[in-house]
Amino acid sequence: MSLHNKKIEEIVSIFDTDLNKGLSNEEAKKRLEKNGKNELKEANKKTIFQIFFEQINDVMIYVLIVAAVITTIVNKEFTDAIIILLVVIVNAVVGVTQELKAGKALEALKKMTNPKAVVIRSGKTFEINSSDLVVGDIVLLDAGRVVPADLRLVETSSLQIEESSFTGESVPVNKDASVILEEDTLMSDRINLAFMSTLVSYGRAKGVVIATSNDTQIGKIADMLDTEDEKTPLQVKMNKLGKQLGYIAIVICVLIFVIGIMQKRGAVEMLITSISLAVAAIPEGLVAIIAIVLSLGVTRMSKKNAIIKKLPAVETLGSVNYICSDKTGTLTQNKMTVVKTFTKDIDENLLTKAFILSSDAKIEGDIQIGDPTELALIAKGINEGILRDSLDELHPRVDEYSFDSDRKLMSTLVKNKDSFRVYTKGALDNLLKISTHIVVDGNVVEFTDSLKEEVLEKAHDMAKEALRVLAVAYKDTDTKISSDEFENNLVFIGISGMIDPPRMQAFDSIKKAHKAGIAVVMITGDHKDTAFAIAKNLNIASSEDQTISGPELEEMSDEMLEKVVTNYRVFSRVSPVHKVRIVKALRKNNNIVSMTGDGVNDAPSLKSADIGVAMGITGTDVAKGASSMILTDDDFSTIVVAIEEGRNIYDNIKKAIIFLLSCNLGEVISIFIATILAWPIPLIATQILWINLVTDSLPALALGVDPISTDQMSKKPRDKDENFFSQGAWFRALVGGTLIGTLTLSAFVIGLIEKGYSLNTLSMADEPSLAYARTMAFIVLTVSQLFYAYTTRSSEESLIKIGIFKNKFLNYSLIIGLVLQFSLLYIPVLSDAFKVTKLSIFDLDIVILFALIPVIVNELIKKFIKFK
């Protein structure tokens, strides 16, 4: 029900209350019992068990669990299965911990919306907990008090309310109870209403409670936050990959089992063989490796002032192609600053002193009290060495005429030695009407039309730059005069233009984002001209055609908005609902959207975006709770740094996946071909598991922390639907895996031939001969994979160009892998467990040569074949 368009008498009637006496205590108690506490209702919380189940409810996890069962069947013992299950459990515990730390948005909302409230009940005024407020209560407001519920104002006296965390406006809003508004008036323009959780910065008021709890505007925001989290692009791709690997494993099992039966092999033998192939097809360490790579990325990013709340968000950042940024406090400093002044006087100090003496604001160290525009004037004085305390001592205030929205002026009367002086500041138009003289070069002269025109022209220039213009004047008097005599026959001093200025770091960051193919969009509650001026200054928008306002959005359907949303770079005068619509429209156009913000009003859109980014210093707890990432320095440039890190992490994950799948393909090919040809299996299940969990994992982890390439931010964002096998990755994986597999099988065959068997008699090989041949195959497979990791560091640049030994962790993995691998040959206990034996020098040379071939071939592919 709209209440901003109704008269006060109607409001009183609708809520059956009394403006002077308020509700009776008995009636308030009844309404509280009927409607409940004035607190935001929390959504049903998930239990730890539910969160844990969500972490393991993933196709890749199921594949790992199946692998654990298969391993137990093959090996007839539980050690390997326990290792796999530990990987699953550790991964799930990490996820549960992350989620318990996150999801605090509703709790933060509840905490910030339960201040004290001054009410009138049964004709008496007293203070109660705001949670006990009911609709129809009469609430009193004064400066510094948090609005405890949604109110229809019925009396206002110079009331200003700070709504930047709610509407996005950077200056307090003047409120007026007497105004009757149109029904379709925007929420941010409803000046006869006060909204729950906003702050009274000036004046006094009386209001009727018209909504409590989740019926308030902030309650509606809380309801918007209570939505299911969507899966990130990485989670979607990993689920798809997991399904594909699962299907492949099943097909391999069935196919090999059928082939074996057709070859008249034993059913038990073929079951073990097919299960071995399935184990070879599944990279057991993949889930753990990705979790570790993401965790390491989170740690690195925390050192760069970006706190990641959910691991997959690291990768999501790397695919972002739209940054939707709040203006106030994100692109700007959330601090009004005087940037231009104009006076005809030779002494500009007079202008500064006049503004300070006609203000109420104070700055004491880090403590700032007062209206942001007045604080800007006080800060200007401090920068010029003009301190408020010193001025107040020399010119103590005697009287004042408070600001009100009709006059748009504020006046003070101060003692000036043996006389008095009036200082008046406020709207230029109003001040021009009551000024008869002006200070020019230290002299007071008549304020002629031509001089007024000059002042108006300067003010117009400031307005074109979206500066908020304030004017100031004075009047000397020998005696103390009453306030109704303050504002006439004034001497005009000058004007100041102020704005919430852009963050200096934002300029370079936006330039980098554009170079990386990322569009930057400003979404703000400020007026169109102010928003566009900032956006143009920051090179976000180049023409006013790229701006659109909230009222214009209201006239668009969701379908229409989806069609035109990419045409705009500035969205002004928007509500929280508009922000969510904008983010969703961009995502409908297959964009990966990041939304930055710091206010309560940003929370729903932060949660709706692919990745929400909250400010850590100025951000509200609500915004932090709804976000995926928090910037500890509130620096927009940190977002660009995080995107660069995210891009690199995705590339590294892709390298690790392609590497692991190439290696596993090699295992599958060697076993598959041997089975088809009715040869002995070249690798046993224990050897395969060793490779998958140990030898493969170390290089894969090292690839996961590969250094950032220098051209990372000169590339366009990758397509949302791009899979891990794009840009020729499938071809390189196929070639690499085929080579590794055939060379492994070749080493196996060479080993058996050296023992006196021919191709026709390989199936009759005895156990010692098989152990020797399998050792050759085992070494070729493991060492070739250790070498192959180096060539997968880049899909385009040669090993020499990227630097063979630049990734120190890959060097460590090579050394450790070789040491571990050859330990299996020369430590009897291990060689017995893995059924391997020592090799001759000649055969060692053969396996090393074979291990180098896949690297050489992949380097030739880079040189002669280019993929798009």
> Are the C-beta atoms of 112 and 620 separated by less than 8 Å?
yes
Total residues belonging to the chain: 868
Number of helices followed by number of strands (H, E) in the chain: 33, 25
Q: Do residues 674 and 265 lie in contact, with contact meaning Cβ atoms separated by under 8 Å?
A: no
Tokens 């305390």 — which residue?
389
Q: Which of 150, 326, 610, 696 is catalytic?
A: 326
Long-range contacts of 729-733 (CB under 8 A, 24+ apart): 729/654, 729/658, 729/795, 731/861, 731/865, 731/867, 732/658, 732/662, 732/792, 732/795, 732/858, 732/861, 733/658, 733/661, 733/662, 733/665
Q: Are 764 and 757 in contact (CB under 8 A)?
A: yes
* Dist CA 499 CA 536 (whole Å): 14
Taking the CA of residue 52 as centre, how many other CA atoms within 13 Å lie in the half-sphere pointing to its CB?
7
Per-residue CA distances from 356 to 329, 380, 397, 735 (Å):
25, 9, 12, 76
Task: Give the Cβ contact number of residue 396 at 10 Å.
Answer: 10
CA-closest candidate to residue 169, choices 150, 154, 190: 190
Q: Radius of gyration (Cα) for the chain, nearest Å?
A: 36
CA distance 405 to 704: 61
Among candidates 701, 729, 715, which has minimal Cα distance to 794?
Answer: 729
Q: Catalytic annotation on 441?
A: no
Q: How far apart are CA 49 and CA 690, in angstroms?
A: 32
Q: Transcribe 2-69 into DSSP letters.
A: --TTS-HHHHHHHTT--TTT-B-HHHHHHHHHHH--SSPPPPPPPPHHHHHHHHH-SHHHHHHHHHHH
Cα angle for residues 738, 744, 747 (degrees, 5° grid): 140
Six-digit token string for 833: 């467990």
C-alpha dist (Å) from residue 148 to 2, 118, 209, 215, 235: 20, 9, 9, 13, 41
Helix (H), strand (E) at residue 160: strand 150-162
What's the DSSP call for residue 131? G
Q: What is the DSSP string of 485-506?
A: GTSSSEEEEEEEEEE-PBPHHH
- For residue 331, give every residue at least 6 positions away whose Cβ sits within 8 Å of its Cβ, in sequence order, or none: 325, 502, 503, 506, 522, 534, 538, 636
Query: How far is residue 603's CA from residue 107's CA, in Å, rounded to a whole number?
Result: 13
**Can you tell me the distance from the alpha carbon of 278 to that of 275, in angstroms, rounded to the nearest whole number?**
5
CA atoms within 13 A of residue 741's CA, in its CB half-sphere: 24
CA 575 to chain centre: 20
Q: What residues are labeled active site?
A: 326
